Amino acid sequence: MSNPGTRGTVLVMGAGDAIGSAIVRKFATAGYTVCAARRNGDKLGDLVQEIGSAGGQAHGFSCDARDEDQVTALFQQIETEIGPLDCVVFNVGANVPMRILDTDSRKFRKIWEMACFGGFLTGREAARHMVERERGTILFTGATASVRGGAGFAAFASAKHGLRALAQSMARELGPKNIHVAHIVIDAAVDTAWIAENHPKYEELKANDGVVEPDDLAESYLMLHEQKRNCWTFELDVRPWVERW
């Protein structure tokens, strides 16, 4: 670890087993105190222990990003007990393929709550604390569906389009207050257990650098946070060299 825990505090909302955990590890390795949150926080034990054993500082939390009271309480706890948040990452996934005829209102609402409403709650709470300090970074994880609605992804695409619009509005409002808001479009399959088991060309793509490696992807999040404010990036498109646009 490089000078662990001295560079600021970072929250990753949606610290799942792939992208989220990779982002947590990347910031911890760079010397930040990391706070990992997911709906089932008991699943974060190994990640927190791994980072601690390597000399870093990590904390795990249970939080349902769709629940306003839980999100508000989480931010207050971190700000009070750990430190002022310098960077907040919203990385909650909701990629559920579903034909429009099979999409009932409950499923649509749940996907929207996870991918869009949760982003609003997380982004708003981050802004509330950062505006007072006139500094900070808020990063939102997007997807191909953020810019292009595919067949069978109506609910997911509408939520991701909404999250991107939220990020755009926040960037324009908060940028002049010295708060960097950015949106990362992941336009490809990410190397996860689900992709390995279900993608018909996984082995071929993996051997040819055709899937996004979570650890490599996490470098982009760290880079965005550490950008100089005279050249902030709002939107970053990430895809392997073989991915079609």
Residues 88-127 pLDDT 10s:
999 998 888 899 999 999 999 999 999 999 999 999 999 9
CA gap 112, 55 in Å, rounded: 38
Q: Mean pLDDT over residues 203-228, rounded?
A: 95
Domains along the chain with CATH numbers:
9-238 (3.40.50.720)
Integer angstrom CA distances of residue 73 from 59, 81, 84: 15, 12, 14
User: How large is the C-alpha radius of gyration of the chain?
Assistant: 17
Q: What is the dihedral of CA 94, 96, 102, 108, to 10 degrees?
A: 10
- Per-residue pLDDT, 3: 44
pLDDT at 1 over 60: no
The secondary structure of 73-129 as a DSSP string is HHHHHHHHHT--EEEEEE-------B-GGG--HHHHHHHHIIIIIHHHHHHHHHHHH
Query: Could you tell me the pLDDT band of residue 196, with boundaries at 50, 70 and 90?
Result: confident
pLDDT score, position 42: 95
* Of 119, 216, 98, the residue nearest 163 (C-alpha): 119
Lowest-confidence segment of 90-99, 135-144, 162-171, 228-237 by average pLDDT: 90-99
Provide the whole-model pTM.
0.95
CB-based contacts of 92, cutoff 8 Å, min separation 6: 13, 14, 65, 114, 115, 118, 119, 141
pLDDT at 244: 84
Q: What is the DSSP letter of 151?
A: T
- Residues with Cβ within 8 Å of 11's Cβ and at least 6 positions away in sequence, in order, are 34, 35, 37, 74, 75, 78, 85, 87, 88, 89, 126
Q: Residue by residue, what is the 3-state secondary structure of 184-220?
A: EEECCCECCHHHHHHCCCHHHHHHCCCCECHHHHHHH
> Given this model, what pLDDT does residue 192 score?
85
